[in-house]
Structure 1
Amino acid sequence: METITSEESYLVSQAQKLRSTDAASAKAWLITAKTLHPTSFDILFEAYKLEKDSKNFEEAAKCFSNITICRALNFQSQNAELWNEVNELTNALRAPENEITPAQEFYVKMFQHVSYDVQHKILLLTVNNAENSIHQCKLLLLILKRFPQAAITHSPRLLEMIADGMKQNPQKYQEMLVEEALPLIYHKTPELPPVLVCRLFTISLEYYIRQIIDDENKCDNTEIWKKIFQVLMLCGKILRWETFLPFNKTWGQNVYWDKLIEIVSISPAGSTQVLFYATTLFIYSLHCYIKNCYTQSEDAGINHVLVEGFTVDWKMEAPDVQSMEPPQISLTTPTSKDISKAFVHAAQCWQLLNTEQFQRDFSKLLLTLPLAAWISRFLFDLAIYFGHQEEAKKLMSEMIVTSSLVQNLQILSLNLLQGNLTLQGFECIVKIIDELPATQGHILEHLTLKVPRHMIFIPLTQKALIQYCTKAIINTLSRKLYEPNCPDQILGDLLVLLQLEYPRETLMAEQIFTLITSRRAFAYRLFTTYIITIDFIEEFLHIWHAHNEDFAFDLSPTQTGTSVCRVGTRGADKGAREDFRIIIKQQILRANEVLTTLMANFIQQEHMQLARNMFGVAVTDDVGFQ
Structure 2
Amino acid sequence: MSAQGDCEFLVQRARDLVSEDPWAAKAWLITARTLYPSDFNIQYEMYTIERNAERTASAGRLLYDMFVNFPDQPVVWREISVITAALRNDVQDKHAQFLRGLFETLPGRVQCEMLLKATEQCFNTLEKAEMLLLLLRRFPESVVQHGVSLGETLLEAESIEDQETPVNCFRKLFVCDVLPLIINNPDMRLPASLLYKYMHKAAEFYIGYVTRGPTAESQLQVSQEAGSLKSPTARGSQRYIIEGLTEKSSQVVEPWERLLEIMSVVGVRCEWQMDKGSRSYGEMLQRMKELGRYLSSFDADAHVRYRNQVVYSVMLVFFRSAYQYVSAVQPTLFQGHGSPSTVPWILVEDLSSVYSDADLDRSKHIHKKRKLADGREKTMSSDDEEVSGKGCGRHILVNKTELPCWADMLESFRTARESWELLHSQETLENEFNRICSSWKTDSWLWLRIFLTDMIIYQGQYRKAVGSLHQLASIQLPQPQVVAPQSSLEQHRALIQLASCHYALGEYRMACEKVLEVVNSLVPQVQEAIRTAEEVPRVRTKFRKGSDLRLLPCTSKAIMPFCMQLMLACFKLRAFTENRDDLALGHVVVLLQHDWPQGECLFLKAIEKICQQGSFQYENFFNYVTNIDMLEEFAYLRTTEGGKVQLELLPNQGMLIKNPSPSMGLLPQEFIPILPPGVPTADSTKERRGRHHTVTRGITKGVKEDFRLAMERQVSRCAENLQTVLHRFCINEKIMLIQSLP
- CA–CA separation in structure 2 for the residues paired with 1:439 and 1:271: 55
Is the Cα–Cα contact under 8 Å of residues 526 and 721 in structure 2 kept in the other structure?
A: no
Q: Deviations over 1:362-411 (max 9, x none)?
A: 33433336752223333333333323344334434444332763343233
Task: Give 2:106's aligned residue.
Answer: 114
Report 1 or 2 for greater relative contact order, CA contacts < 8 Å, sequence distance ≥ 6: 2
- CA–CA separation in structure 2 for the residues paired with 1:518 and 1:107: 97
SS at match of 2:741: helix
Matched, 1:359 2:453: no
SS at match of 2:82: helix
Matched, 1:381 2:378: no
Q: Deviations over 1:61-92 (max 9, x none)?
A: 33544677xxx669xxxx532x6514531333
Task: Give 2:79's aligned residue.
Answer: 88
Matched, 1:599 2:723: no
Task: Give 2:641's aligned residue.
Answer: 547
Query: One-letter code of the match for 1:265?
Result: E
- CA–CA separation in structure 2 for the residues paired with 1:392 and 1:551: 46
Query: One-letter code of the match for 1:306?
Result: L
Is the Cα–Cα contact under 8 Å of residues 286 and 343 in structure 1 kept in the other structure?
A: yes
Q: What is the CA distance between 1:421 and its match in structure 2?
A: 0.5
Task: Give 1:6's aligned residue.
Answer: none
Report how many aligned residue pairs link the two structures. 565
- CA–CA separation in structure 2 for the residues paired with 1:295 and 1:175: 24
Matched, 1:261 2:286: yes
Is the Cα–Cα contact under 8 Å of residues 284 and 313 in structure 2 kept in the other structure?
A: no
Query: One-letter code of the match for 2:521?
Result: E
Q: What is the CA distance between 1:591 and its match in structure 2?
A: 3.6
Instruction: Please show how residues 113-512 of structure 1 align to structure 2 within 5 Å.
Output: 113-124=105-116, 126-127=118-119, 131=123, 133-143=125-135, 158-169=150-161, 171-177=168-174, 181=178, 191=188, 193=190, 194-195=195-196, 197-202=198-203, 204-205=205-206, 208-209=209-210, 211-214=212-215, 226-237=254-265, 239-240=267-268, 241-242=274-275, 256-266=281-291, 269=295, 270-295=306-331, 301-310=342-351, 325=392, 327-332=394-399, 334-335=402-403, 337=406, 340-355=410-425, 356-366=427-437, 367-368=439-440, 372-399=445-472, 400-402=474-476, 405-422=492-509, 424-437=510-523, 450-484=544-578, 486-512=580-606
- TM-score (ref. length: structure 1): 0.72
- CA–CA separation in structure 1 for the residues paired with 2:169 and 2:261: 24
- CA–CA separation in structure 2 for the residues paired with 1:441 and 1:217: 44
CA distance 1:440–1:281, change in 2 (3 Å): farther
- CA–CA separation in structure 2 for the residues paired with 1:225 and 1:417: 43
- CA–CA separation in structure 1 for the residues paired with 2:29 and 2:85: 33
CA distance 1:598–1:415, change in 2 (3 Å): same
Is the Cα–Cα contact under 8 Å of residues 285 and 346 in structure 1 kept in the other structure?
A: yes
- CA–CA separation in structure 1 for the residues paired with 2:277 and 2:628: 60
**2:607 alignment partner, one of 499, 506, 513:** 513
Q: What is the CA distance between 1:131 and its match in structure 2?
A: 4.7
Is the Cα–Cα contact under 8 Å of residues 55 and 106 in structure 1 kept in the other structure?
A: no
Is the Cα–Cα contact under 8 Å of residues 330 and 454 in structure 1 kept in the other structure?
A: yes
Query: One-letter code of the match for 1:405?
Result: H
SS at match of 2:597: coil
- CA–CA separation in structure 1 for the residues paired with 2:28 and 2:577: 119
Matched, 1:49 2:44: yes
Instruction: Please show how residues 24-43 of structure 1 align to structure 2 within 5 Å.
Output: 24=27, 27-28=30-31
- CA–CA separation in structure 2 for the residues paired with 1:523 and 1:203: 64
Task: Give 1:37's aligned residue.
Answer: none
- CA–CA separation in structure 1 for the residues paired with 2:36 and 2:339: 75
Q: What is the CA distance between 1:550 and its match in structure 2?
A: 4.7
Instruction: Please show how residues 544-583 of structure 1 align to structure 2 within 5 Å.
Output: 544-545=638-639, 547=641, 550-558=644-652, 559=681, 561=683, 582-583=709-710
SS at match of 2:392: coil
- CA–CA separation in structure 2 for the residues paired with 1:304 and 1:441: 23
CA distance 1:518–1:593, change in 2 (3 Å): same
CA distance 1:462–1:505, change in 2 (3 Å): same
Query: One-letter code of the match for 1:94?
Result: A
CA distance 1:225–1:471, change in 2 (3 Å): farther
- CA–CA separation in structure 2 for the residues paired with 1:300 and 1:604: 28
Q: What is the CA distance between 1:125 and its match in structure 2?
A: 5.3
- RMSD across aligned C-alpha pairs, in angstroms? 5.0
Is the Cα–Cα contact under 8 Å of residues 524 and 727 in structure 2 kept in the other structure?
A: no
- CA–CA separation in structure 1 for the residues paired with 2:447 and 2:571: 37
* Identity across matched positions, percent: 19
Q: What is the CA distance between 1:602 and its match in structure 2?
A: 1.9
SS at match of 1:325: coil
Q: Deviations over 1:417-472 (max 9, x none)?
A: 321402x33332332221115777999999xx853222223333334333333333
Is the Cα–Cα contact under 8 Å of residues 622 and 714 in structure 2 kept in the other structure?
A: yes
SS at match of 1:329: strand
Is the Cα–Cα contact under 8 Å of residues 160 and 196 in structure 1 kept in the other structure?
A: no
Structure 2: 5+ residue stretches without partners:
15-25, 221-250, 269-273, 296-305, 333-337, 359-390, 477-489, 531-535, 653-680
SS at match of 1:287: helix
Q: What is the CA distance between 1:198 and its match in structure 2?
A: 0.4
- TM-score (ref. length: structure 2): 0.62
- CA–CA separation in structure 2 for the residues paired with 1:11 and 1:271: 77
Is the Cα–Cα contact under 8 Å of residues 11 and 29 in structure 1 kept in the other structure?
A: no
- CA–CA separation in structure 1 for the residues paired with 2:174 and 2:267: 18
CA distance 1:383–1:238, change in 2 (3 Å): closer
